Structures are given as structure tokens and as C-alpha cells.
Amino acid sequence: MDLNQENSLRGKDYISLTDYKPEEFRYLLDLAVELKARQKKGIPHPLLQGKTLAMIFQKASTRTRVSFEVAMYHLGGLGMFLSSNDLQIGRGEPIQDTARVLASYSEGILIRTFSHQEVISLARHAKVPVINGLTDDEHPTQALADMLTILEAKGKLQGLKLAYFGDGNNVAVSLIHACALCGMEIVLSCPEGYRPPEKALAQGEAMKAPGARITVVQDPKEAAAQADVLYTDVWTSMGQEKESAIRLKALGGYQVNDELLKLAKPDAIVLHCLPAHRGEEITDSVMEGPQSKIFEEAENRMHAHKAILAALL
């Protein structure tokens, strides 16, 4: 792959996968594979020399923050961690003004926040690409790393069945989008009241590449049957802490454990975006078991983020 070749994604935002076509998403995946291979071989890849990424965080983060910072460093640029507690946003400066100012110093802006609308508003006022590092609604950078991990484990994506268990949250929504783009079957197993938003399901339907299928079921066993990938996420996301007791009760039957894993294909893999609450949505033994690719998935955040940065910036 020629890394200096012009690509059509230059200048584009990465806010929602609904803005991406299957071939554009595939380009990012191929680029991630290439950049990972170069790093493993010790081949430098300073594609963003002299460029900077402003990284606004209004919620906690381990993986997203560190992997984007390290990715910028490996690409020859600089990632600047900006906690909203320390920015003037925290004292009420409008996002529009912040966007204009940060865009005048940086070639890109990454933001992790609560409101998805706020990210769209930021992008409207920033002249540089804006990357969504997680909102209450979507987590699109995670989904690219997830697809990279599945591709590495299975050698393909199209036609595979991914079963998602638990809360139809931001991670689930971006997985619906990513599976649609990659021609995969996604079966979400969620209790009543925790289904993914109808809007996200409709978006997935509209984005479907050949082979893609999206269904929501209640029974976790039905979802797990013959699955290639089992995926779960926390039952209480950031910002929902007050609901945690109700959620624990409602989602209790959706744990990814050894019993559930036995229903999947014998070579199925298990993914979790992390952080995990061991003993709640996933057991220790599955997380540490031979079918878990959870820590490979976490590493792949960095390789996937490099692809996003190299393509857009």
C-alpha cells in the first residue's frame, strides 16, 4: 500500500459511521492493517510530521486517550490532551468559539463528550476534521478497532455473525453501523427497554452492504447460536451511574459466560470494548479464556486510530 497516495477521506469528519461508505471504511481497515504491520516490523511511518490533534475529554478515558496520543507521536505529530475541567468550556465558553480557536492551532480535533449534537455543532464551526471519541449515542473509533480484530482473527468479515449482549448503547450502535458496512450479520440480544434506538436500526438497514443482516432478539441463547463473535459492554455507561441498580437487575440475564460461549461456533472469539465489570456483563473465565481477543482489541485501538488520523489529517 502506497501511504502517500491521495485518498478521498482527506478533510472528512469521523463523527458517525453513517457518513461512511463500505469502501471508505474498508480503506481505513486496510490502512490500519498496513500501519500495524509497519510498526511491528519497526518501520517508521511519520505521516503527520508537524501536525497536531487537539483532544477534548469531558468523560474519563484510558484507551481512547492514550492510544490517540501515542498514535500521533508515532505519526510524527502531537496529540494534546485537553480535559474539559481545565478548558474554558468547563466555565461556559461556547463550543462554537472553542472549535474556531482550536482549529486555528491544530489540524484535527478529537472530542469525547455526552451530547452527540455537541460534536456535530463543533464540527460545523471547526475548519478541521472532527473525530468522535465517544458520545452518549455512538463510539465509532471503537468499531473500527473491533472490525480490525475480527478481520485478523477470521481473515474476513463478510458473512460472519456477531452476537451482541446487553445494553443497546453507544458501542452497540456503532457496531450496528460497522457490521452493516462490512456485510456482517449482527444479532443484538437485549431485554425490553434496553434495545438499541430504532433510529440506529433504521440507519443500519439503510447502510447495508451485501451479506449484512440486523436483528434484535430477547433470548441471549438464540443470539449466541453459531455466532463467530460474541461481544458485550458494561451495563452502566458513563453518565448513567444513578441507574446502575436498576440496570444490574434488568440486564442480569445477559452475561457472557462459559455456558453462553459453548453455544457459539467452536472457534468463536469474544470481544469487549473495555473497561469491563468482571462478574457482571462478562465472567473472569471468559475474559481470560483462550477465545478472548479483548486485549488484542484494545491494542488495535491504536492501529485503527493511526489509520483514521493518517487518512483524515
**Strand 161-165 relative to strand 185-189: parallel, antiparallel, unpaired?**
parallel
When asked if residue 215 is in the footprint of ligand CP (CB under 6 A), the reply is no
Rule CB under 6 A: choose which of 132, 142, 149, 255 binds ligand CP. 142
Q: How far is the CB of 240 from ligand NVA (least distance, A)?
A: 8
Find out whether 80 and 106 touch, Cβ atoms under 8 Å: yes
Cα–Cα distance between 148 and 153 in angstroms, integer? 9
Please spell the DSSP secondary structure of 148-197, one letter per residue.
HHHHHHHS--TT-EEEEES---HHHHHHHHHHHHTT-EEEEE--TT-SPP
Binding partner of residue 146 among ligand NVA, ligand CP, none, CB cut-off 5 to 8 Å per kind:
none
Which class for 12: exposed (0-12), middle (13-18), buried (19 or more C-beta within 10 A)? middle
2 is catalytic: no
Q: How far is the CB of 233 from ligand NVA (least distance, A)?
A: 5
- Residues touching ligand NVA, count (CB under 6 A): 9
Q: Scan residues 269-288 and list those touching ligand CP (CB under 6 A).
A: 273-275
- Sign of the alpha-carbon torsion through 145, 150, 157, 40: positive
Binding partner of residue 29 among ligand NVA, ligand CP, none, CB cut-off 5 to 8 Å per kind:
none
When asked if residue 171 is in the footprint of ligand NVA (CB under 6 A), the reply is yes
- Residues touching ligand CP, count (CB under 6 A): 9
Find out whether 54 and 105 touch, Cβ atoms under 8 Å: yes
**Strand 108-112 relative to strand 78-83: parallel, antiparallel, unpaired?**
unpaired
When asked if residue 137 is in the footprint of ligand NVA (CB under 6 A), the reply is no
Nearer to ligand NVA, 51 or 65 (CB): 65
Q: How far is the CB of 88 from ligand CP (least distance, A)?
A: 24
Cis preceding-peptide flag for 197 (omega within 30 of 0): no
Count of positions (residues) in the chain = 313
When asked if residue 302 is in the footprint of ligand CP (CB under 6 A), the reply is no
Cα–Cα distance between 191 and 204 in angstroms, integer? 20
What track of x and - describes contact with ligand NVA for positions 255 through 284 (by CB under 6 A)? Answer: ------------------x-----------
Binding partner of residue 62 among ligand NVA, ligand CP, none, CB cut-off 5 to 8 Å per kind:
ligand CP
> Cα 97 to the chain's mean position, in Å?
27
Rule CB under 6 A: choose which of 16, 61, 174, 283 binds ligand CP. 61
When asked if residue 64 is in the footprint of ligand CP (CB under 6 A), the reply is yes
Q: Which residue is nearest to ligand NVA (CB)?
A: 237
User: Rounded to 5 degrees, what angle do the CA atoms 69, 70, 76 make?
Assistant: 95
| Residues with active-site annotation | 112, 139, 142, 233, 273, 301
> Which residues form the interface with ligand NVA (CB under 6 A)?
134, 169-171, 233-234, 237-238, 273
